[in-house]
Chain A
Amino acid sequence: MYRAFLIKYAEIGIKGKNRFIFENILKRNIANALAKLRDGYEISKEQGRVFIECPEGFDYDDTIEALQHVFGVAGICPVYVIDNIEFENLKKGVGDYVEQAYPDKNFTFKVEARRADKSYPVTSPEICAKTGAHLLDRFPEMKVNVHDPDVEFMVEVRNRGYVYSEVIPGPQGMPVGSSGKAMLLLSGGIDSPVAGWMIAKRGVTIDAVYFHAPPYTSERAKQKVVDLAKIVSRYAGPIRLHVVNFTDIQLYIYEQCPHEELTIIMRRYMMRIAEAIAEKRGCQALITGESIGQVASQTVESLLTTNAVCKLPVFRPVIGFDKQDIVEISQKIGAFETSIQPFEDCCTIFVAKHPVTKPILSVIEKSEKKLSEKIDELVEKALETVEVINVRW
């Protein structure tokens, strides 16, 4: 019964003179998401909304689902279309819509109307009043309530008539591509995909880096990270995943540095390498899934120590979240089942029984001096041998 969709967006609406830039990106992102379903969607923007039609027909559920993965979409309204807009027919069309969309007519309502074409012979207030009267005649159980109706029917008259009343929530946020680019440190866990999703939701384009340590981490662990990147990419758009072979660096740190400092020093090198790739790729920030106190390397002292090697800002969107809060988002975005597959990642091998929880920057820096002989060469080699996987939904 629905032949079109009207997309509402929230935050873009309050932008000033830049608004058209955001709208154009949103329109492009919607077009990309829908193009995966089929050809022939027509997307137009007008007066603070985006309008989607597909004259050749579409699958309703697939279209809604695709739109629910486009950041910037605040609400999706399925639209009933009336081809003949002669007023008697328009009224009847609204009635037909109500007939089909609301099997139970026991509710209060209100009609709102808009004319795009001011030469239409009936004014907007008249459309409201007369259509309302028509509905009351046709469906005696329905009652009018103009202040707090259960259902609000929007009637728009252009070259055709459009009626809608339902608003399906979208993912909110800003369209991806509207605010810069950042490099996500993606592990196989629960937190980092959520962190990437949250930053993408603010309109940021995402690149990702994964530290692979064969033979200590398996191909399946790597595949899991690719799968997670794919889940994030459904919202964030195509992701360039950089796979760094980290084994030699990790083993070198293991041999040279105090064992309880292994994790913290390893993480400092991960940040350095991520930053180097980020700069090469034109990213303006790093993203991690760190959350205060979750593990030894995420105490405030540890965060200070790892942060010290970075010049770029490091976004940690889940920093103040409890694990349960992160799990809820992970489940919502469909990453959780993948995240909990039991494959070792490079952070879980060689972990000391009692790693430092309150590292002192100067002490760690002193330990790192023991790496001076070979570390630059190893980092260089890791950067040269990065494997790039283009991930898209």
Chain B
Amino acid sequence: MECYLDNAATTKPSEAVIDEMLKVLRTDFGNPSSKHRMGLDAEKYIRNTTEALAEALKCKPSEIILTSGGTESNNQALIGGALANRRAGTHIISTAFEHAAVYKPLEFLESQGFTVDYVGVDRMGHLDLDELKEKLKKDTVIVSVMLVNNEVGAVQDIEAVSKLVKSNNPATLLHVDAIQAFGKMKIIPAKQGIDMLSISGHKLRGPKGSGALYVRSGAKVKPYIYGGGQQHDMRSGTENVPAIAGFGVAVKDASSHLEEHRRSMFACKAALIARVLKLEGTHVNAVPGETLGYFEKAEPIAASGEYAGIPENIRKSLETTAPHIVSVSFDGIDRSEVLLHALEEEGVYVSSGSACSSNHPGLSGSLKAIGVEKELLNSTLRFSFSFDSTIDEVDYAGAALQKLLPVLRRFRVK
């Protein structure tokens, strides 16, 4: 059985997405900037996708910039936002467990004269709001906070963050990296006090090379790609119409089935936690203790429908975390990569840390930030679901772990 449980790295594009992209590649291949009909036909896809995003976020289409993906969105927001507001100040705040697509542009901004402060997180991966309050200054121009952490699935209380930021200085821009969040939870930037929001297409069964940045109208942000003036001068370059078209289909699917998707992913998450906690020497990260206590004793969850049977308070508690990410540390596993490859041989695909950072020999930043014990930092795997994940896959992965863990634990570096 092939069991793809690395959906936080990327997802399998849906058939509808692929069909739409093929149609664009085969038929509507015009340049959207061309004045003739072929251009107009291509432009329609861009408008569709922009409108789908606007509808999902309850914002205006003019507040959407289409990008090549999450990394570009974050770079555009941070670099574009910092440069546009340089005169107002050079202070930026972020958190201790951001993705490289946030902290690398911030490092660049530091080299350009900005100062960046990082706020710590607790064991659940929640931002220390008191620390944030202390670090906010009158000249803080941007606060950047990840809505769902990519490695452990912690969800931030963005409204609380926004209240603090705006009461300190209403002009400070709040940027939210929602790459793991969009399509997995309801996000309404205007209501939540978000000025900029980064989205990636391939995390929600859309194509790679697609993404978007929401920028509240009135927020001062400079473009950082210059050229032919596409997308209201904010992002030059001929639009990647096939990817944008596929992205639009994925956005519509994700936003129109949000509740259904959340339920099915939470069912997978509950099933996996219940299975994993029955195995010896396992620790599930960034999930509330009372929930873990329940799942340690709970009966195995055999079908998606059984999720509703879990007591409401446990479900509520579980639903404070992201529906699609489960981070598990294993005692007695020296290198999680070995377990990863052993699972791979069984047809189970997961990630050690996050796929984006696992090329680095360094240890996981997020795990360290939430205080995972030193000896478990390198013994942690991430399982992640998408809309199409099933309890059968979870069971299969659980059985594979049960088989492999005792074998791998026999062989350790002495």
Contact = CB atoms under 8 A, between A and B. Distances in A.
B219 interface: no
A321 interface: no
B341 A218 contact: yes
A214 B345 contact: yes
A259 B341 CA distance: 24
Contact of A350 (B342, B344, B345, B413): B413
A218 B337 contact: yes
Interface in A322-381: 342, 344, 349-353
Interface in A273-315: none
A353 B361 CA distance: 20
A255 B407 CA distance: 12
A51 interface: no
A219 to B, nearest CB: 8
A216 B338 contact: yes
A353 B338 contact: no
Chain A interface secondary structure, helix, strand, loop or mixed? Answer: loop
Given A254-B411, A350-B413, A215 B361 contact: no
Chain B interface secondary structure, helix, strand, loop or mixed? Answer: helix
A251 interface: yes
B413 A351 contact: yes
Nearest to B342: A215
A344 B378 CA distance: 15
Contacts of A344: 335, 337
The size class of the interface chain B forms with chain A is 10 to 19
Contacts, number: 32
Interface in A236-283: 251, 254-255, 259
Contacts of A259: 414
A352 B413 CA distance: 7
Contacts of B413: 349-351, 353
Contacts of A219: 341, 344
Contacts of A216: 338, 341
Contacts of B337: 218, 344
Nearest to B412: A350
A259 B361 CA distance: 26
Nearest to B341: A215
Contacts of B345: 214-215
A342 B414 CA distance: 22
B306 to A, nearest CB: 33
Interface string B382-414: 000000000000000000000000000011011
A214 B411 CA distance: 13
A344 B336 CA distance: 13
B405 to A, nearest CB: 12
B233 to A, nearest CB: 40
B9 to A, nearest CB: 15
A347 to B, nearest CB: 13
Contacts of B361: 342
Contacts of B339: 215
Given A215-B339, A342-B361, A353-B413, 7 more contacts: A215-B340, A216-B338, A219-B341, A344-B335, A349-B413, A350-B413, A353-B414
19 contacts: A214-B345, A215-B338, A215-B340, A215-B344, A215-B345, A216-B338, A216-B341, A218-B337, A218-B341, A219-B341, A251-B411, A254-B411, A255-B410, A259-B414, A342-B361, A344-B335, A349-B413, A351-B413, A352-B414
